Structure 1
Amino acid sequence: MNKQWHKKWMGLMVLSGALGSALAQPANPLRIGLIGPLTGPSADFGVPMMNGAKLALDEINAAGGYLGRPLELVIKDDAGTPDVGLQRSREFLKDQLIATIGFCNTGVALKSLEVFQSAKIPLIVPCATGTPITTTYPAPDSYVFRTSARDAIQAPFVVDDIVARGWTRVAVFADNTGYGEAGLQDVLKALAAKNLKPVHVARFELGVKDLQTELKAAQAAGADVIFSYTVGQENAVIARGRQALGWKVPQVGAWPLSFPFFIDGAREAAEGALMAQTFIAEPSNERRSAFLSAYARKYKTTKITVPMAAVQAYDSVYLLTYAILAIRNGDLSGPSVKAALETMPRIYYGVAATHEHPFSKDDKDAISINMLVMGMVKNGAVTFAYPQDRTRNLIVKRKR
C-alpha cells in the first residue's frame, strides 16, 4: 500500500475493526436513501452528489460494510422540483431506510423536510445550503443534519473578504426561489454587521435571459461589487450583462459560482469571480489526492462538474457509517441513528474537513466558517483565491 492511500485506509480500519462478529450477522443490506436532481438543470451537482455517495459506499462495503452487512443506496430523482421531491420523499417511507442523504436545491429540501421529521428518519443534506433547512425545527428535536456550508456562514465569509478588499458598495442580485430569498436575507445580515447596506437589490425569476435594466440601475447606484445569489445560468446572465456594459466590477457569491452553468456559460466574463468553497479540486493533501484519484478511476473522468457536491456526499456516507458503528445494541431505528450522529465518538478524517463531533443535540451543521476558503475562477477553473490557502489546506480543518 503506497503512502498516498495510507490515510484513506487508516480511516477504513475503523470499520474493519468491527468485523469480528460479522459471521453472526444477517447478510441482508442496510438501506440508505439518496435523493437529488439527477436530471434537469440542477443535475450538474445532483449527479456528482450521487457519485460521491456511491464511491464511499463501495469503499465501505469492500471493508466489510456494517458488521458484514452491505450498505445499499435507494436512489430517487427529484428533478430539482419541489413537488417531485415531496412525492419521491414520501415514497421512501415504504423502503425501510436507516437514513437518507440528499437534496441539492433549498426549495426542494424545504418542501420535503416534514416527511423525514415526522417519520423520524435522519436526513443528511450534503448540498443544499439555505439556512432555514437546519433551523426549521428546534435543534434537539430535529432529524435534519447537514454537511454543506449553510448560507448563514457563506454570506458573512464572502462579505468579510470583499470588505477586506475595499469593496463596500454592494449590489445584491438574488433569484426568487427559496434559495435566493434565504441567501438575500443572510447577505443583508452580514452587511448590516459591517454597518453596510446594499446600494441596489435586484430580484428575478429563474430562467431570466436579460438583466440589463437591473445591471444599469446597480451601475448608476455606484456599486463596486455584485453579490449574486442564484443556482443556475442566471449567474452567467449577470456576468455577460456586466461585460456587455463594459462595467468592470467583480462578481462574488456563494458556491454556485463554481458551477458549470456559470463558468461555462459566462466564459471569459466569469474570470476572477470569487466564491465560498469547502473543497477545491486540487490534490492539496494525500486525503484529497486519494479521493480525486478514486473518483477519476471509478467514473473515468478527470473533471468533476461540482466537486463540493461529490465530496460532501462522500463524507456524509462515511459519517453515517461511523455513527451506526457506534450503536452497540443493534437498534438502528431513526431515534437511535439520530442519537448516534449527535454523539459520534470517533474522529472521521474526511475530504472536506476533519470531523470531530460534527453534530450535537444543539447543532446539526457539520461545517463551520473556519472550514471555508475563498475560490476564484481562473482560466475556466476554480482555484484558491489566496496562495496561502493552498498551503494551509495541507491540513484539513476542524469545526470550531
Structure 2
Amino acid sequence: MRYRDLCLRALAALAVAVAPTLVRAQGAAPLRIGFICPASGGSADFGTSARLGAELAVQEINEAGGFLGRPVQLVARDDQANPDRGRAVAEELVLKEKVEFTIGFCNTGVAMKSLDVFQDNKHLLLVPVSTGSAVTAKYPAAESFVFRLSPRDRVQAAFIVNDIVERRKLTKVAVFADRTGYGEGGFKDVVGFLAERGLQPVYTARFDLGVQSLAAEVQAAKAAGAQALVGYSVGPELAVLAQARRDAKYDGLMYGPWPMSFRTVWDKSGGGAEGALMVQSIIPNLANERRSSFIARLKRHAGSQSVASLMAAAQTYDAVHLMLRALFQTRGDGSAASLKHALENLDKPYVGVVTTYERPFSKADHDAFTMNMVWLGTWRSGEIRFQYPEDEKRASFIRRKQ
C-alpha cells in the first residue's frame, strides 16, 4: 500500500476513534489554520516551498474527510520577509480572522517581531522553518505558546563545527555572516562552539543583505589560511559567497546552515556551490518510501512552481499534520492551553516525512530537533546528496529526539 494511502487511512481511523466523544455543533464550518511565510521578495524561495508543503497536507486531510467532517482551510498571508509586515499579518490572523492556530515564519527577524502577538493573546504558533535560536528562547517553555519543527541554529552550528573540528581535524576557519538577526545569531553560535574547542576564526566578515560581491573577503580568508569557510545567511547571499569562492579559486571547504541547500544558491552561483556542505533534516533517498512518496506528491502538487527548499516544504507538511494530531488529541478543543498540553504530551507518535515524532516536545523544551536528527548534505551536479555514504545507508532508520 502506498504511503499516501496509509496516511489517509490513519487520519480517517483517528477521526472515527474520537468522533463519538465530540459535539459537532459547528457542523461543516471550516477549520481555519493561519499560515505566515514570505511569498514575495528575496525569501520567497523557501516561503513558497513552505506554502506548497502546507497546501499538500491540507489537501490530503480534506481527502480523508477533513477534521471530523469539517474542511480544513489554509488562511495564508505574505509577510514579505519584512518584520513590520509580519507583525501586521500576525495581528490580522490572531485578532481579526481568529484562526484556530498558526503555522508560520521563515525568517528569524520577522518571527521575533511577532512572537508577543501570539504569546500575549494565548494563540498557539508552530514555527516550521525559521531556525534562529532566539525564537524559542524568548519565553520559558513552560509558559510559551511558541513551538518549532525545524533544527534551531545552535543545533546546526554545533553540527557544522563538530564536522570541521572533530571529524576533519581542521583548525583554521573563516566565518561569514549577514547583519540580520539570523546572521548575528548564527555567527555567535559558530564562534562560540569554536571557542569551546579553543579556536578562534582566522578571519570574519559581516555583510548586508543584497551584497553584490564577497570576492575581496574570500581572498582575505584565503590569505589568512582558512581551511574552511562557514557562511551564515540566506539563499541569495550564500550564492554570492559561493560565486566568490569559485572566482577566488578557493579550494577549501565551504559550509552553511540549511539555506545553503536553496535552489537559489546553485542557480545563482554559476556552479560555485559544487561541493558546498550544509545541514539538512531531509535528503532525497530512494530507499525511504515515505520520503520518496512525499517528494513525488509534492512535485505533482507544485506543478510549474519551484520547490526551492525540500526542507521547508517537508517540515511544514509535517507541521500541519502534527497540529491536526494534537487537535484530535484535545478532542476538538482548539484553545492554546489545550493544544500546548497536547503537543507537550503527544500520546501517539506521528510518522512524518522528515522523521517520526514520538515525543517531539515537553513542558521544558519546545524544539523538536536534536543534533542526532540532522544530516550533512552537499551540492553535487545541481542536486543535494548525502555527504557521507554511511549516512545514506542509515537514513532509512528512524532518528528520534534525544
- TM-score, scaled to structure 2: 0.95
* Displacement after TM superposition at 1:144 (Å): 0.7
Which residue is equivalent to 1:201? 204
Deviation of 1:82 after TM superposition, in Å, equals 0.9
Give deviations 1:337-357, integer Å, cap 9, x for gaps: 222221111100001110011
Given that 1:5 and 1:286 are in contact with CA atoms closer than 8 Å, whether structure 2 keeps it comes out as no
Q: What secondary structure is seen at the aligned counterpart in 2 of 1:111?
A: helix
Q: Structure 1 residue 315: deviation in Å?
A: 0.3
Match of 2:248 in 1: 245
- Counterpart for residue 159 of structure 1: 161
Aligned to 1:145, what secondary structure does the other structure show?
strand
> In structure 1, how many angstroms separate the alpha carbons of the residues matched to 2:24 and 2:126?
30
Q: 2:45 corresponds to which letter in structure 1?
A: D
d(CA) in 1 for partners of 2:103, 2:48: 13
In the other structure, the counterpart of 2:108 is: 106
Deviations 1:208-240 (A, max 9, x none): 112233222212221110000000322122222
Q: 1:150 maps to which residue?
A: 152
Aligned partner letter, 1:234: E
Counterpart for residue 388 of structure 1: 390
* Structure 2 contact 186–232 (Cα < 8 Å) conserved: yes
Cα distance in structure 2, aligned partners of 1:317 and 1:42? 21
Change (3 A) 1:24 1:197: same
Q: Which residue of 2 aligns with 1:17?
A: 16
Number of the residue aligned with 2:229: 226
Tell me: CA distance 1:89–1:267, structure 2 relative to 1, closer, same or farther (3 Å). same
Taking the aligned partners of 1:63 and 1:370, their CA distance within structure 2 comes to 33
Does the CA contact (< 8 Å) of 1:33 and 1:75 recur in 2?
yes
Is structure 2 residue 369 aligned with structure 1 residue 370?
A: no
CA distance in 2, matches of 1:333, 1:244: 54
* Contact 1:8–1:287, Cα closer than 8 Å, also in 2: no
Structure 1 window deviating more from structure 2 (199-208 vs 387-396): it is 387-396
Give the Å deviation of 1:282: 3.4
CA contact (8 A) 2:230 2:255 kept: yes
Q: Which residue of 2 aligns with 1:286?
A: 289
Instruction: Tell me what 1:39 maps to.
Output: 40
Name the Cα RMSD after superposition.
1.8
Deviation at 1:283, TM superposition (A): 3.2
**1:316-355 maps to which residues of 2 (within 5 A)?**
316-328=319-331, 330-355=332-357
Which residue identity lines up with residue 128 of structure 1 in the other structure? S
Give the CA deviation at 1:188.
Answer: 1.3
1:275 counterpart residue number: 278
SS of structure 1 residue aligned to 2:123: coil
* Cα contact 2:274–2:380 (8 A) shared by 1: yes
174, 179, 182: which one aligns with 2:182: 179
Using the TM superposition, give the Cα deviation of residue 370 of structure 1 relative to its aligned residue in structure 2, in angstroms. Answer: 0.8
Look up the match of 2:49: 48
Is 1:313 the counterpart of 2:312? The answer is no
- Secondary structure of 1:73's counterpart equals strand
Assess if the C-alpha contact under 8 Å between 1:7 and 1:286 holds in 2: no
TM-score, normalised by the number of residues in structure 1: 0.95
Identity of aligned residues (%): 47
Segment drifting more, 5-14 vs 253-262: 5-14
- Identify which range, 109-118 or 16-25, moves more after superposition: 16-25
The one-letter amino acid of 2:336's match is G
Distance between the aligned counterparts of 1:167 and 1:304, measured in 2? 34
Whole-angstrom distance in 2 between the partners of 1:37 and 1:281: 25
Aligned length: 398
Secondary structure of the corresponding residue to residue 40 of structure 2:
coil
Per-residue deviation, residues 240-284 of structure 1 (Å, max 9, x unmatched): 222222221111010011012211111321110000000113333
Distance in 2, Cα, partners of 1:302 & 1:99: 27
8 Å contact kept, 1:97–1:121: no
Specify every segment of 5 or more residues in structure 1 that has no aligned partner in the other structure, as ranges: none
Aligned to 2:30: 29
Residue 73 of structure 1 aligns to which amino acid in structure 2? L
- On the 8 A contact 2:327/2:333 being kept in 1, the answer is no
Residue aligned with 2:174, SS? strand
Match of 2:139 in 1: 137
Structure-2 change in CA distance of 1:324 and 1:4 (3 Å):
closer
Opposite residue 329 of structure 2, the aligned amino acid is: A
Q: Equivalent residue for 1:125? A: 127
How much has 1:87 moved relative to structure 2?
1.1
Asked if 2 retains the 8 angstrom alpha-carbon contact of 1:271 and 1:378, the reply is yes
Q: What amino acid is aligned across from residue 342 of structure 2 in structure 1?
A: A
Tell me if structure 2 keeps the 8 A contact 1:15–1:65. no
2:208 partner amino acid: E
* Contact residue 125 and residue 146 of structure 1 kept, 8 A: yes
Question: Residues 161 and 14 of structure 1: is their aligned pair in 2 closer, same or farther, counting only changes over 3 Å?
Answer: farther
For the 8 Å contact 1:105–1:128, the answer to whether it is kept is yes
Give how far 1:396 is off.
2.9
2:8/2:64 contact within 8 Å kept? no
CA distance in 2, matches of 1:161, 1:11: 39
Are the equivalent residues in 2 in contact too, given 1:15–1:63 (CA < 8 A)? no
Residue 399 to residue 290, structure 1, CA distance change in 2 (3 Å):
same
1:4 to 1:338, Cα distance in 2 relative to 1, 3 A:
closer
Partner secondary structure for residue 62 of structure 2:
helix
Cα deviation, 1:310-356, whole Å, max 9, x if unaligned, reads: 0000000011011010113x432122222222111110000111001
